[in-house]
Amino acid sequence: MFLPFTYANRGNKPILSLKMVYLFSTASSSSASGEFLKHLLNNKNGYGMERALNAVTCKLDSRCVDEVLEKCAVSDPKMGLRFFIWAGIQSKYRHSSYMYGRAYKLLEVDRKPQVIRDVIEGYRVQKCVTSGKMFKVLLNLCREGKDAVLGLWVLREMKESNCRPDTIAYNVVIRLLCEKGEMDEAMGLMSEMEVSDLYPDVITYVMMIKGLSEVGRLEEACGLTKAMRGHGCMPNTVAYSALLHGICRFGNLERALELLREMEKDGGQCKPNVVTYTTVVQNFVEKCQSIEALSILDQMKDFGCKPNRVLICTLIQGLCKDGHVEEARKVINRVTESGIPYDSCCSLLVLSLFRIGKLNEAEIFFRKMLAGGLKPDGLTSSTIIRWLCQRSRILDGCHLIDAIEQSGSVSSIDSDIYSILMAGLCEANHLAEAAKLANLMVVKGIQLKGPFVKNVIECLKRCGKEDLASNIDNIKS
């Protein structure tokens, strides 16, 4: 007699059998997934399962795989995993990263890693022929779950099953170990590769250099950079950048500059880019050596690499924080030739002064920008005006908005600032300024926000601006 469900140790809640899942789901599933489920059901003991699946002529796609996994995950995750492995080695289908994530989640591999062990043991007991491709599907599942322990176990089982791991398989596990900072184990796998007549490739070396650099094992990381050349792998920008980051973090900044020069000399794939230089500048700034970082601008210029906005922002902020405001001003004059707008650099200086607490200096420089015909960006303008509002300098904030408008700046100021200013002007009975600002809000289509609406509308009506009050009240977001 067929039972529609079984009971397990889950608080006596019924768990549907795969057969019942199949019967309940075929109406809503695609015809392809229904066919696969039927063949899985007929071979639920595992023997001949893959042969049965090979006989299905329906098209295999991600939707089909997802539906089968959803149904199998309810009652038989091991069967679901075997189907997933089988699907992953088909010539006309390939699992996407998304599908690996779905499988890891649906089969609850993080909570039930035993499902992988059981499937591998099932292959062995049933004397199924396994392949490297099948194990790579499992390794990719481990990679998706960032499970280094399980990944290493799968790699060992791969060898036990006489499926010789290749460099790609080793790289998956080495990456997982490096991400966990387990560098001794990762180094052991590299040595194991060489014993097995496999050679680390560029990907292997980059992962190892990055991993060693991140835990401060700089001498070993430098040694691997040299060893790459001996194995016919030229260090690239990624490898050097990882090493550079480690040297900046744990080592001597002078050594970082030497490595930069070495990269410039090697050229080719080792050629430093603006991101590489920015990394060094950031580390100099973090160690309160912003003045020393100025030399990198000269080095970049000599190498023909132009700084970008991120680098300049980092340098200006560092100089201001270290008390070198005048040097920060000089930097602005030096980098405009690189194509970064002068207005943008000046805005960065204003924000930097503001962030280190030099508020009055920031306001003075901001006003000089406007007086000199420069156009500050929206973030800088909003920051200064908001600060003025917080200090109850409503009229000053209103006049600055007027000056910004006259400068022709197209950058947007935060819309809530207009509402704060309007409320402050009305409360202080600055009716003429309030009417002028209200008219600007109507022209720009800026909606009055917050708890200010009623008072502002009444204020405009009191000063005889009924039409303006009606217009500003009708602006919708």
Q: What is the pLDDT of residue 410?
A: 62
**CB within 8 Å of 156: residues ≥ 6 apart:** none
The confidence score (pLDDT) of residue 7 equals 35
pLDDT of residue 254: 83
pLDDT at 55: 86
Check residue 3 and give its pLDDT: 34
- Rounded Cα–Cα distance for residues 433 and 426 (Å): 9
Q: What is the pLDDT of residues 200-228, one digit of tens each?
A: 999 999 999 999 999 989 999 989 988 88
Question: Do the Cβ atoms of 296 and 281 come closer than 8 Å?
Answer: yes
User: H/E/C letters for each residue in the chain?
Assistant: CCCCEEECCCCCCEEECHHHHHHHHCCCCCHHHHHHHHHHHHCCCCCCHHHHHHCCCCCCCHHHHHHHHHHHHHHCHHHHHHHHHHHHCCCCCCCCHHHHHHHHHHCCCCCCCHHHHHHHHHHHHCCCCCCHHHHHHHHHHHHHCCCHHHHHHHHHHHHHCCCCCCHHHHHHHHHHHHHCCCHHHHHHHHHHHHHCCCCCCHHHHHHHHHHHHHCCCHHHHHHHHHHHHHCCCCCCHHHHHHHHHHHHHHCCHHHHHHHHHHHHHHCHHHCCCHHHHHHHHHHHHHCCCHHHHHHHHHHHHHHCCCCCHHHHHHHHHHHHHCCCHHHHHHHHHHHHHHCCCHHHHHHHHHHHHHHCCCHHHHHHHHHHHHHCCCCCCHHHHHHHHHHHHHCCCHHHHHHHHHHHHHHCCCCCCCHHHHHHHHHHHHHCCCHHHHHHHHHHHHHHCCCCCHHHHHHHHHHHHHCCCHHHHHHHHCCCC
Residues of the chain with pLDDT under 50: 1-29
pLDDT computed for residue 78 by the predictor: 92
Tens of pLDDT, residue by residue over 105-151, are 999 998 999 999 999 999 998 888 899 999 999 999 999 999 999 99
pLDDT at 476: 55
For residue 24, the model assigns a pLDDT of: 41
Query: How many CA atoms lie less than 13 Å away from 100 in the CB half-sphere?
Result: 16
pLDDT in tens, 334-361: 877 777 888 889 999 999 999 989 999 9
Give the model's pLDDT for residue 116. Answer: 94
Structure tokens at 88: 């992953």
pLDDT of residue 106: 93
